[in-house]
Amino acid sequence: MSVYGTDKRHHTLTVLVENKSGVLARVASLFSRRGYNIFSLAVAPSDNSRFSRITIVVDVESAPLDQIMKQLDKLIPVVSIRELDPSLARERELLLATVEAGPDSRGQVIQLVGVFEGKIVDVGPEQLTVMLAGAPSKLDDFEDLIRAYGIVEMQRTGRVALPMLDRADHRGQQADGTAPTTEKAG
Amino acid sequence: MELTGAQALIKSLEMQHVEVMFGLPGGAILPVYDPILDSSIRHILVRHEQGAGHMAQGYAQVTGRPGVAMATSGPGATNVVTPLADAYMDSTPLVVITGQVATTAIGTDAFQESDITGITMGITKHNWLITDVDDIPRVVAEAFHVATTGRPGPVLIDIPKDIAQSTMEWYWPSPEDLDLPGYRPVTEGDPSLIREAAELLLAAERPVIYAGGGILKARAADALRELAERTGIPVVTTLMARGCFPDSHPLCLGMPGMHGNYTAVMAMQRSDLLIALGSRFDDRVTGKVNAFAPDAKVVHVDIDPAEHHKVRRADVAIAGDCRLVIEELLLALNALGLPHAESTRGGSGGAPSDAVPGAPAEAGSLAAGFPRERLAPWRSQLGEWQARFPLVYDQQPGAGPLKPQFVVEQLRDLTPDDTIVASGVGQHQMFASQWWRFDHPYTWVNSGGLGTMGFAVPSAIGAKVGRPDKMVWAVDGDGCFQMTAQELVTASSERIPVKIAILNNAYLGMVRQWQEMFYEERYSEVYLSPDLPDYVGWAEAMGCVGIKVESPDDVATAIDKANSVDDRPVVVDFRTDAFEKVFPMVAAGASNDDIMVDPSLLGGGR
């Protein structure tokens, strides 16, 4: 089971914000104040040092997406918001996990990491730390499978996403796979 | 020119044409208070920072200009939290400046440190913590821009003591220097949506204009009046919009909502088209949302697109400034053939069914027969409701208990037509809104969204500072008065002659009303006593004239006396009937269809 629920339940917002202190707090405070649920949130500088990009996966069952976007847009440091429909976006996430891998199971864990094209980033006598980057659903599958061996610690980054590129087979959806940027509100 | 941060801050306020500010100094803001001595800005020293905030609100509500308040760090700043929350709910432009501990001390739990930008994040339109003295003029310019444009609202600037003390080279930013890449308020409505709205207007049979506070913010009262008169569509004015359309106009139905009058509430319930202009479908207006105006299509004009579809899905949602959109709407109506109408004025507040038919429209145009012929049955229905379910109360002369509604009516009749009325929150607020006749915009100052008890006294003072040419009365409750009355000391020492009418029923009256009606008359913690405190003595101790009124026969004399005092505040302690309840009433969570009118209208006794 995905931590994000079904695709229908989550939507990904990619939010360009001014790179100023306190912006993340404003976004987080807005979500908590208005009762919007966040599945995951990732922040990083954008290609322009004045701005950062926040990728938020929101639970659209907690509030209408339209309301979430408009309220978010009212925050002064929010410059623009794009909604990425999961079916029209490339979503990626990174997982780090320390897995029980004693002499009996070590070979199987290594094999599993190989099948998923992950990497082993640390090796201990009884444990391995593995890394996997990929589509969130792939990470879900991997997580389910390694759980059998015993997960000591695990972290996932939350997803980042970009729209699919314009190709003829994208079913005539909006060319860049995004919903239009919201109008700014006073 | 080299200035300290403090000097730059005050100079920046002068550049914004600030003429008055309300505040109270303290440790962290001390440097900023020094250049005030050399400034053209009048500073009014309050007795509590909450008073400063509410005064700034009153000033802003009657002038349309941003109110400015100042406080020190820590408790000074947290005392302004309530006015900020209040201004945020009611979209009042406010610029609040708070001192902060030195940047080196931030985060160390220093003396009088509080994270005021964090605390006020959700109740300001935006806030700034200044960390570089060179930012001061730009941030002040940004703050005023954000507070006053788009949907107005409060902003806060937090200035650490060391920043105020360090120096900078003075500059004043041009509009292009403002660093607000994410702030682009929309003002002009989408023409195709405006045309759609115009078509809905012309097709409607039971339309109602649902005018909200946005009309006043957009200074759109004249445009609204033209729209109503041209189309013959009746208008309800929400609590925040009282005065934006004259109560004495034949098309005015008065206030809707939980304590609105029957006709205003029912007009919306039975409407087939609500034209919401700068209103936000507040729960106090809609009652149970699922049962609100079930047959109505909705045209919703608001400068804040986040209000669209938030509570009620709109059929046509127009983001834009109310005045600009109404003006465009009138042009669109012209293009669709709406006849230029004669004035519908001339009625005397009765049913709006006496209008003259409009000039004949071109055959085949959408507007043929519109508006007056088509709206005639609707207006006659409204007139019937008005006649059947008026606002009522029963004032016995002489010895009978003094009715609060009678006091408001007497005040209304014995003061100038354009008197500004401020109120607190509770029964007295509803009585004031119901029984005053608001014929002018910007004459009603109240706390609508947040419902802040104690709002009346300080906001009346702020209003009087903003409009010294007008008489300002506060209609207050005894519970409310006790929350902020000390600001009358401010008013006395600053010679701000406001007048306060306390409707003193010795109870937290609205809570008492709910306990009577919904809690089986189990009165829990609502009794206050009529004469503890001694209001007259208290008023006199604060430098005011104090008058006590117990009999209906003495009301007029007391008001006349109060009106004649122009050199100090006056407090009139009206001892009113504690059993009086506000009607009509829609119980919390109930449908507006279940509106309870005054029992006497249903043949029962009062």
Global ipTM = 0.88
pLDDT tens per residue across span B429-448: 999 999 999 999 999 999 99
Residues 82-141 of A with CB under 8 A from B: none
pLDDT band at A71 (very low <50, low <70, confident <90, very high): very high
Interface touch A185/B151, C-beta < 8 Å: yes
* Residues B242, B154 within the same domain: no
Percent of chain B at pLDDT exceeding 70: 94
Residue B572 lies in domain: 404-583
From chain B, pick out residues whose CB is under 8 angstroms from the CB of A17. 182
pLDDT score for B1: 94
A180: pLDDT strictly greater than 90: no
In a domain, A3, yes or no: no
Lowest pLDDT segment from A18-22, B235-239, B274-278, B361-365: B361-365
pLDDT score for A46: 86
Nearest-Cα distance to chain A for B215, in Å, is 15
In a domain, A32, yes or no: yes
Instruction: Say if CB B488 and CB B514 are below 8 A apart.
Output: no
Residue at which a domain ends, from A66, A89, A112:
A89
φ and ψ of B64, to 5 deg? 80, 0
* Residues B227, B173 within the same domain: no
From chain B, pick out residues whose CB is under 8 angstroms from the CB of A76. 125-126, 146, 180, 182-183
Nearest CA-CA partner of B57 in B419, B436, B460: B460
From chain A, pick out residues whose CB is under 8 angstroms from the CB of B125. 76
* Residues A39, A64 within the same domain: yes
B183 contacts chain A (CB < 8 A): yes
* Residues A29, A74 within the same domain: yes
Q: Residue B247: CB partners within 8 Å, gap ≥ 6?
A: B237, B254, B349, B436, B437, B438, B439
In a domain, B61, yes or no: yes
pLDDT band at B467 (very low <50, low <70, confident <90, very high): very high
* Residues A128, A145 within the same domain: yes
Percent of chain A at pLDDT exceeding 90: 63
Between residues B358 and B377, the one the model is more confident about: B377
From chain B, pick out residues whose CB is under 8 angstroms from the CB of A80. 182
Q: What is the DSSP string of B258-278?
A: TT--HHHHHHHHH-SEEEEES
A2: pLDDT strictly greater than 70: no
- The C-alpha R_g of chain A, in whole angstroms, comes to 19
What chain B residue is nearest to A66 in terms of C-alpha separation?
B306
Between residues A164 and B248, the one the model is more confident about: B248
* Residues B433, B537 within the same domain: yes
Of A22, A33, A183, the CB nearest to B117: A22
B310 contacts chain A (CB < 8 A): yes
pLDDT score for A62: 77
Mean pLDDT, all residues of chain A: 86
In a domain, A107, yes or no: yes
Mean local confidence (pLDDT), B308-312: 96
φ and ψ of B533, to 5 deg? -75, 165
CA distances from B396 to B103, B390, B400, B406, B510 (A): 65, 19, 5, 10, 23
Nearest-Cα distance to chain A for B96, in Å, is 17
Nearest CA-CA partner of A55 in A33, A82, A22, A76: A82
In a domain, B207, yes or no: yes
pLDDT band at A186 (very low <50, low <70, confident <90, very high): very low
What chain B residue is nearest to A17 in terms of C-alpha separation?
B182
pLDDT tens per residue across span A28-42: 999 999 999 998 899
pLDDT score for B355: 37
In a domain, B599, yes or no: no
pLDDT score for A169: 59
pLDDT tens per residue across span B148-170: 999 999 999 999 999 999 999 99
Residue A140 lies in domain: 90-161
From chain A, pick out residues whose CB is under 8 angstroms from the CB of B182. 17-18, 75-80, 184
Instruction: Say what the alpha-carbon torsion angle B49, B54, B59, B60 is, to the nearest 10 degrees.
Output: 110
Q: What is the CATH number of the domain that holds A83?
A: 3.30.70.260
In a domain, B289, yes or no: yes
Q: In what helix (H) or strand (E) does residue B9 lie, and over which residues does it extend? A: helix B5-15
Q: What is the number of alpha carbons within 13 Å of residue B248 lying toward its C-beta?
A: 10
* Residues B101, B7 within the same domain: yes
Give all strands of the β-sheet with B67-71 in edge-to-edge order.
Answer: B42-45, B20-23, B67-71, B94-100, B154-160, B126-129
Residue with tokens 């310019």: B141
Q: Rounded to an integer, what is the distance from CA B528 to the centroid of its chain?
A: 27
Q: What is the CATH number of the domain that holds B337?
A: 3.40.50.1220
pLDDT score for A11: 87
B348: pLDDT strictly greater than 50: no
B68: pLDDT strictly greater than 70: yes
Q: Residue B531: CB partners within 8 Å, gap ≥ 6?
A: none
What chain A residue is nearest to B183 in terms of C-alpha separation?
A76
B597: pLDDT strictly greater than 90: yes
Q: Residue B593: CB partners within 8 Å, gap ≥ 6?
A: B269, B291
* Residues B34, B149 within the same domain: yes
* Residues B13, B97 within the same domain: yes
In a domain, B600, yes or no: no
In a domain, B41, yes or no: yes
A48 contacts chain B (CB < 8 A): no
Nearest-Cα distance to chain B for A119, in Å, is 40
Cα separation, B97 vs B117, whole angstroms? 11
In a domain, B592, yes or no: no
Nearest-Cα distance to chain A for B121, in Å, is 7
pLDDT band at A10 (very low <50, low <70, confident <90, very high): confident
Mean local confidence (pLDDT), B230-243: 97
pLDDT tens per residue across span B3-53: 999 999 999 999 999 999 999 999 999 999 999 999 999 999 999 999 999
pLDDT tens per residue across span A108-160: 999 999 999 999 999 999 999 999 999 999 999 999 999 999 999 999 998 88
pLDDT score for A3: 52
In a domain, A170, yes or no: no
Prediction pTM value: 0.92
* Residues B374, B459 within the same domain: no
In a domain, A166, yes or no: no
Q: What is the CATH number of the domain that holds B115?
A: 3.40.50.970
pLDDT score for B140: 98
B489: pLDDT strictly greater than 60: yes
Q: Residue B510: CB partners within 8 Å, gap ≥ 6?
A: B425, B426, B427, B430, B582
* Residues B366, B420 within the same domain: no
Mean local confidence (pLDDT), B219-231: 97
Residue at which a domain ends, from B177, B202, B220:
B177
In a domain, A126, yes or no: yes
* Residues A72, A143 within the same domain: no
pLDDT score for A102: 93
* Residues A60, A99 within the same domain: no
A20 contacts chain B (CB < 8 A): no
A79 contacts chain B (CB < 8 A): yes
* Residues A97, A143 within the same domain: yes
Q: Does residue B112 sit in helix, strand or coil? A: coil
Mean pLDDT, all residues of chain B: 94
Interface test mutation site (partner A, options B106, B183, B312, max chain A beta carbons within 10 A): B183
B309 contacts chain A (CB < 8 A): yes
pLDDT score for B397: 82
pLDDT score for B591: 97
pLDDT band at B533 (very low <50, low <70, confident <90, very high): very high
Interface touch A67/B310, C-beta < 8 Å: yes
* Residues B172, B198 within the same domain: no
Q: Residue B215: CB partners within 8 Å, gap ≥ 6?
A: B221, B224, B241, B244, B245, B277, B278, B322, B441
Nearest-Cα distance to chain A for B152, in Å, is 8
* Residues A15, A25 within the same domain: yes
pLDDT tens per residue across span B196-205: 999 999 999 9
Cα separation, B169 vs B1, whole angstroms? 6
pLDDT score for B204: 96
> Domains in chain A: how many in total?
2
Residue at which a domain ends, from B388, B421, B442:
B388
pLDDT tens per residue across span B314-323: 999 999 999 9
A177: pLDDT strictly greater than 60: no
Mean local confidence (pLDDT), A78-107: 92
Residues of B designated as active site:
49, 111-112, 161, 510
What chain A residue is nearest to B186 in terms of C-alpha separation?
A185
> Domains in chain B: how many in total?
3
